Amino acid sequence: MLMLELRRPADGTMLSHIWRSVQADWEWPAPAMAVSGTDGLQLWFSLAEPVPVVEAVTLLAGLRQWHVPGWGAHRVRQWPEQPVLGELAPVPRCEAASGHWAAFVAADLMPLFEESPWLDIEPGEEGQAQLLAGLRSIRPAQWRAVMAQLQPVLVPPSVQAPLPQGVAKAGETNDPRRFLLRVMNDEAVPMALRIEAAKALLLHPAQDAR
């Protein structure tokens, strides 16, 4: 199981965009959507088979890099992370301090929870089961296909959030080496990706000018 959370404030529009993108661009089944019970909105990805932690961390970091670049830990959270700290909190559950509930919710209702990402009452077991019944797990072949695209650190341009016409990303470059250098030196990028960028640079040193 993988989880990606946007919080403080919860951004239902961006979360919905990522939800659509993984289906359209990666041909993955729809992830489950949930409210955290505190201050975030979540995507839950079910895996048909276990995967190495480093692969899970790299994939989620790739989603973060291309959809919410520059968002720190106070705005976005993932599980697993590196290092792995504790277990993923179950859903549904009640937050003891507030009495609010974390729960799975329908995708079309997600924008309604941006200001209050929780339920005030306990969700019904039948309703939660119905929300999850139609979801499918990511098959090993689907996982491997995306991991191949992410190696060493690149994500297909089609996965990126759309930009207004005529607007380019700051520092955008078509030079792979310059891109890898930027990733390696960017402290906002997760360490796992910075290490992979450094490895790629070592494998492909710069050629002397001719």
Q: How far apart are CA 178 and CA 171, in angstroms?
A: 10
The domain limits of the chain are: 2-203
Best CA proximity match to 31, nearest among 66, 69, 78, 85:
78
Cα–chain-centroid distance for residue 174? 24
Give the three-state DSSP class for 69: coil
Best CA proximity match to 56, nearest among 65, 48, 43, 47:
47
Edge-to-edge order in the sheet of strand 76-79: 76-79, 2-7, 40-45, 32-35, 101-105, 93-94
Paired tokens of 175 = 């030079």
In a structure prediction context, what are the per-residue pLDDT tens digits for the chain, which is 210 residues long? 999 999 988 888 899 999 999 999 999 999 999 999 999 999 999 999 999 988 898 899 888 887 888 787 789 999 998 766 678 889 999 999 999 999 999 999 988 898 899 999 999 999 999 999 989 999 999 999 998 887 655 433 333 334 333 333 434 444 566 666 776 676 666 666 666 666 665 665 554 433
Paired tokens of 123 = 């969700």
The model's pTM: 0.71
**Encoded amino acid at 38, one letter:** T
